[in-house]
Each structure stands twice: as structure tokens, then as C-alpha cells.
Amino acid sequence: MSTTQSDRLRGLLEPLVAAKGLDLEDIEMSKAGKRRMLRIIVDSDEGVELDACAELSREVSDKLDDSDVMGEDEYVLEVSSPGADRPLTEHRHYVRAIDRLVKFQLAEGGELVARILDVDDEGMDLEVPGVKGRKATARRIAFTDIAKARVEIEFNRKDKKEEEA
């Protein structure tokens, strides 16, 4: 997708998405045979429900039909949330990942798996899980020390409410 088309789409759709209390995370365009696939990724601090995606999809479709930004060729529209394992790239992504286990690729090399405890403007406080029965340790990491970060999916972690009960 050309930068101009991407900018036009973002300018057209961002106010619509924001009016729903959502953040426009990404716009992706890809080819699927003769058709094009337009994927709109949205999120919020509370997450995004399926009904909200469906409603937004209808409104985005109407908005695109009323404009010439997609041209005359057919396309498939998909509106979705980013998924649990998406890369963390913005400050708000780290805030939304508080209490989640994250795999960090460090700028100096190496990796770190830790739970985000708190986030501020410079970085975050982490809890590094103990290995082989050892206690977890606290660590501070600056955003400038992170090359990449992605939430790790946990299938067996107890919910905080379950732990407190």
C-alpha cells in the first residue's frame, strides 16, 4: 500500500475509530488473489469486543464506499483487535500489558522474559520469574534498552482474583 493511500485511509478512519473510544493501531493492505484485503487493527485499554468490531466494520465500510480512497477494485474488509501476541511498540501497549509476561529482545543483545509491574515515561518495573524454585527478582528496564517486545501467552496462570480468593 502506498504511503499516500495509507495516509488517506488513516485520515479518513482515525476520527471514526476514535469516536468509538478505540485506537487505530494499524492499517494493512495485502493481495488475496485478484482481490485486495484491507485489515484495520483497533484496540483500547479495555480490549475490543467482537460486537464493537462488527459495528465498526459496518461504519468503516460505509465510509469507504462514500470515498474514492480504495478505488474501483474489489477488496475484503476486516476489522479486528491486534491479538494477544502482537508486538509491543507504543507506550500504551506496555501499559495495557501490565501484569502480563513479556519476552524482551534487548538492544545490547540477549533476551529477557519478565512480568510488567508498572510503566512510566522512561521505562518499566519488571518481575523476573525465579528459576528452579528461586524467588522472582525485581528489575528496571528503560524503553531505550528494548529492541523488540512481545506478550507471552500463558495458559496456566491463575487470575489475580483466583489468587486472592
pLDDT digits (tens, 9 = 90+) for 2-32: 568 888 899 999 999 999 999 998 898 888 7
Name the pTM for this structure.
0.73
Q: If residue 7 lies in a helix (H) or strand (E), which one and from where to where?
A: helix 3-19
pLDDT at residue 162 above 50?
A: no
pLDDT digits (tens, 9 = 90+) for 115-136: 999 999 999 999 998 888 789 8
Q: Do residues 30 and 37 lie in contact, with contact meaning Cβ atoms separated by under 8 Å?
A: yes
Confidence band, pLDDT 50/70/90 cuts, at residue 161: very low
pLDDT digits (tens, 9 = 90+) for 141-157: 999 999 999 999 888 76
